[in-house]
Amino acid sequence: MKPFRIEIPQADLDDLDRRLAATRWPDELPGAAWERGVPLGYLRELAEYWRTSYDWRAAEQTLNQFPQFIVDIDGISVHFLHIRSPEPGATPMILTHGWPGSFAEFTSVIGPLTDPRAHGGDPGTAFHLVVPSIPGFGFSGRPAEPGWDMVRIAGAWAELMRRLGYDGYVAQGGDLGAWISLTLAGVDLPHVRGAHVNFLVTAPPPDPAALAGLEPSDLERLGLLGQFANEGSGYMKIQSTRPQTLAYGLTDSPVGQLAWITEKFFEWTDSEKVPEDAVDRDQLLTNVMLYWLTASAGPAASLYFEIADFLPTAATPPAPPPPLPVPLGVAVYPRDAAKPIRRFADQGFPNIVQWREFDRGGHFAAMEQPGLFVEDLRNFARALRR
């Protein structure tokens, strides 16, 4: 286990500047809006801001304020943050990002979660935090062989927590990180005290009679899930079938990588006109930079190839995972890509101890609504003690 510090060579930043300046832009139909993809005018302005105003060195300095490490597990190097709370009775927790996120999603919540006393919170709800980068993402290593699926990643997380000396801990995640966290609860059941997710897909049972008596709001959620599978999952379909083909363009063109990620930050956040309605522009670009500077577009997309049988399609939404006997907390944000139905969630997870529905926020909860995110996890810590 070795200390790690982010130190991007200046030559890489100079190369990015040249590529942005030399972008060959596509045409656009007059009046085109977000339903056709990222609008040309918006992306040109954002790319110019990225080239001339965004300060990677400032972002790098912010990220390096947190203790970072690299450790070899199961033949791959895993990058992670490890921030211990000053509270001796703090609960260990592993936070897992998804796609197109990164460990940088959590920078605004690390302080309040690890040191609630200093942020006006109850010191009894403090956490020791472990924030890894999924293999293939960011500064973690790239899988050199097939098979790095949810189960294998969860196994690596269990081993990481064991090596850090945590006998019992909480698993938390959103997007792919939610599925990894739920899998981890099964893989390392003796040590996982509870799981908390801010993304959960609940497909209806095969029997149509299961839909009887659903509230109109639940029927709306079911319709949105179908709409997502039919219209909003194009990124998933190509990443789960042809990740290598996609990787050429995203690895060679920073504007291509920017558009691929920014589209989701618009569609999945509590934004009205542009992603910055919900997420700070510099935070968004820092997240993009972690894909660009590490050339991780292809390896990250390949995770979808590994889990293709588990992903939703228009015809077959994913079946709920096997019931887990650990306490589960679920946070539902209104502008997420999909919202779960409580009745179906209870069938798959018989031990839901906390279910919170918020009136604002979206898919990237820790970035969009750090206060609500922190409050929810503190409440979950209390629920686990009851």
| Alpha-carbon span 75 to 94, nearest angstrom | 21
Spatial contact of 270 and 277, defined as CB atoms under 8 Å apart: yes
Taking 70 as the threshold, does the pLDDT of residue 322 lie above it?
Answer: no
Spatial contact of 187 and 104, defined as CB atoms under 8 Å apart: no
DSSP 230: I
Structure tokens at 169: 């801990």
Between 324 and 292, residue with greater pLDDT: 292
Read out DSSP for 269-317?
SS-SSSGGGTS-HHHHHHHHHHHHTTT-HHHHHHHHHHTGGGS--SS-P
> In terms of Cα–Cα distance, which of 19, 45, 10, 34 is closest to 250?
19
> Cβ of 170: how many Cβ atoms within 10 Å?
25
The β-bridge relationship of strands 68-73 and 2-4 is: antiparallel
| Alpha-carbon span 58 to 56, nearest angstrom | 5
Mark out the alpha helices in the chain (DSSP H runs). Answer: 10-21, 40-52, 56-63, 107-114, 150-163, 176-187, 216-227, 234-239, 243-252, 254-267, 281-292, 297-306, 342-348, 365-368, 370-385
Q: Where does residue 31 rank: exposed (0-12), middle (13-18), buried (19+ CB within 10 A)?
A: exposed
| Alpha-carbon span 10 to 175, nearest angstrom | 33
> In the prediction, which pLDDT does 204 show?
81
* Predicted structure pTM score: 0.96
Confidence of residue 311 (pLDDT cuts 50, 70, 90): confident
Q: What's the CA dihedral at 321, 349, 345, 91 to 10 degrees?
A: -100
Confidence of residue 294 (pLDDT cuts 50, 70, 90): very high
* Range scoring the smallest mean pLDDT among 140-154, 277-291, 296-310, 322-336: 322-336
> In terms of Cα–Cα distance, which of 89, 6, 73, 20 is closest to 290?
6
Give the list of residues 6+ apart from residue 44 with CB closer than 8 angstroms, or none. Answer: 25
Average pLDDT over residues 118-147: 97
Taking 70 as the threshold, does the pLDDT of residue 219 lie above it?
Answer: yes
Structure tokens at 178: 């939610």
Give the list of residues 6+ apart from residue 361 with CB closer than 8 angstroms, or none. Answer: 270, 333, 334, 335, 336, 368, 369, 372
> In the prediction, which pLDDT does 168 show?
97
Segment 93-127, tens digit of pLDDT = 999 999 999 999 999 999 999 999 999 999 999 99
Average pLDDT over residues 247-260: 98
| Tokens 């029997």 belong to residue | 207
Q: What's at 113, amino acid-wise?
A: L
How wide is the angle at C-alpha 104 spanned by C-alphas 101 and 110, nearest 5°? Answer: 125
